[in-house]
Amino acid sequence: MEIITKMKFYFKVFLAAALMINVACKRDPSQPGREYMPNMYRVASYKTYEPNPNFKDSLGARPIVKGTIPRGYFAYDASNTPEAYEASLQVKEFPERFKLISEKDFEEGKRQYTIYCVVCHGEKGDGNGVLVEKGKFAGVPSYASDSRPGLTPMSIYHVITHGKGVMGAHAAQVLPIDRWKVVHYVQYLRNELDNKN
């Protein structure tokens, strides 16, 4: 009796195993066969480049929303007009994010100033750059307060972006985020000049 119960049990185990093997083995290797919990390994979400019927253009990878600004970036959309320049003169403070900069960023500002500005504005910012000394360029002002009293961080930023008078725009040379570093350096030179007077 005992042995028969045991055999029955083993037979049941064998049947269950055979059944499982039967459903688990794929007959057609290109088909997944029967899947018990497909969501565990087959995600329900759309893949990045998969067509997505929820959108009219069916693009799964959505284009970025107009006006999106990358993190850490600075967007300055004031246009190159006298009004926008005047408005920049009214903003007396740095934007909060750029108020304090690291020594490394200050050095970077100095580096870019030396590349892009020094030929006209001079190492000290007194308006005696090489081009001025050689008589190739005239009318470059000193950054000192008595020469240009109203300068603000924002107006300096505006002038780097759009230029002013015969000074060309430097938007193509200096990245928006780096312009603040250059502005800090210009302000440093301005303080140095003011303190010497």
Whole-Å CA distances, 56 to 16, 45, 51, 53, 59: 49, 18, 10, 7, 8
Residue 179 CB, shortest distance to ligand HEC, in Å, is: 8
Binding mask 150-189 for ligand HEC (x = CB under 6 A): -x---xx--xx---xxxx--x---x-------x---x---
Q: Which amino acid is at 97?
A: R
Binding residues with ligand HEC: total (CB under 6 A):
23
Give dist(CA 52, CA 59) in Å, integer: 6
Q: Which C-beta is closer to ligand HEC: that of 22 or that of 81?
A: 81
Give the max Cα distance, the chain.
118
Q: Shortest Cβ distance from residue 52 to ligand HEC (Å)?
A: 45
Given the complex with ligand HEC, which of 21 and 172 has the nearer CB atom? 172
Q: Assess contact for 99 and 93: CB atoms under 8 A.
A: yes
> Based on CB atoms, which residue is closest to ligand HEC, 141 or 176?
141
Please calculate the CA angle 120-124-127 and round it to the nearest 5 degrees.
35
Residue the block writes with tokens 């303080």: 191
Residues 89-118 that bind ligand HEC (CB under 6 A): 116-117
Contact footprint for ligand HEC (CB under 6 A)? 116-117, 119-121, 137, 139-141, 148, 151, 155-156, 159-160, 164-167, 170, 174, 182, 186
